[in-house]
Amino acid sequence: MGTSWRGVITIHIVGIDRDEFRELYNRHVEKTVTPIVDDLHEAQRMRTRPDFEAFWHRKCAELLDPVRPFRALSEDVLRHEFPSFPNPPSESPS
């Protein structure tokens, strides 16, 4: 959960640290975010897509559509998985 003191306090005050919310967050990451992140990692690693940058932007836009639930959570996962976010990674991961 939150890694900064401010984040931990905010999560507690707002009350989003309840088990039912954690289950929703985990399910969102597992069912929605992880498949897209896996697709992006695979495309980056294999460079099988000559249009990787366009693919990257399309997948990120799909995941971060303003009408999607848990948009900020999705963005946090992208930032964690791809330090270059919002820009696509420039080279294959080692």
Place of tokens 């996962």: 77
What was the pLDDT predicted at 1?
47
Alpha-carbon gap, residue 56 to 79, rounded angstroms? 13
Of the candidates 69, 44, 45, which has an alpha carbon nearest to the alpha carbon of residue 59?
44
CB atoms within 10 A of CB 89: 18
Phi, psi (5° rounding) for residue 15? Answer: 85, 25
Whether the predicted pLDDT of 54 surpasses 80: yes
Q: Which has more pLDDT, 58 or 8? A: 58
Q: What is the pLDDT of residues 27-49, one digit of tens each?
A: 999 999 999 999 999 888 877 66
As a whole-number percent, the residues of the chain with pLDDT over 70 amount to 89
Whether the predicted pLDDT of 88 surpasses 60: yes
